[in-house]
Chains A and B, each alone.
Chain A
Amino acid sequence: EVQLVETGGGLSQPGGSLRLSCAASGFGVSSYYMSWVRQAPGKGLEWVSFISTTGTTYYADPMKGRFTISRDNSKNTVSLQANTLRAEDTAVYYCARAQYNVWPNVFVDFWGQGTLVTVSS
């Protein structure tokens, strides 16, 4: 059974940092694009970042230079290092497995349950 479990959310002050982790089971993270998608309270979905099977990383513009996605194939985990946090980064962060048939038509085929990040003083 495919499962994604996020940890690491919590409260951070503006300008602070958090590291989110995602433990995968039922498949190998090295074989799929892995992604983070976030959802601010009461708002819609917003793509954050992808890491490809070859390690290439992609970021949405608001996250570039502040967020870093990485993968540990030996532990079957994906992480998101979020630095210089802002109030507008407050959201539930979902770890997600993604794939595509024809690039760049990537879609998410499985989602974790999410972890809440709150940025507030």
Chain B
Amino acid sequence: QSVLTQPPSMSGAPGQRVTISCTGSSSNIWAAYDVHWYQQVPGTAPKLLIYDNTNRPSGVPDRFSGSKSATSASLAITGLQAEDEADYYCQSYDSSLSSWVFGGGTKLTVL
């Protein structure tokens, strides 16, 4: 059971918008620690998509965006493309564990 909760799977048609949620608790997201997002295409290493809640590294398309509220974070993907089919993970810091933690991951299927 992951400290950060993500939906196990989501799907969308090409061109659509999907939003992946990451729900935390009082010792991580609610405590105002930043959330970061990674994309992992099956069989490859993860790749940083969003850092510090909303920032995109150089080279990441602006179809990907991150947001954060007091209790959760979200990754939005607009204009869904076949190449977006991958696993997506959120990550933050947990003060009760004194540890960096990942969400369980969301498998995104492009229909």
Contact = CB atoms under 8 A, between A and B. Distances in A.
Interface of A: 37, 44-47, 50, 60-61, 94, 101-102, 104-114
A90 B36 CA distance: 26
Interface residues of B, number: 27
A101 B51 CA distance: 10
Contact of A47 (B40, B47, B48, B100): B100
A44 B89 contact: yes
A113 B45 contact: yes
B101 to A, nearest CB: 7
Contacts of B2: 44
Contacts, number: 63
A110 B38 CA distance: 11
Interface string B42-80: 001111100110000100000000000000000000000
B102 A46 contact: yes
A107 B48 CA distance: 8
Contacts of B33: 104-105
A112 B38 contact: no
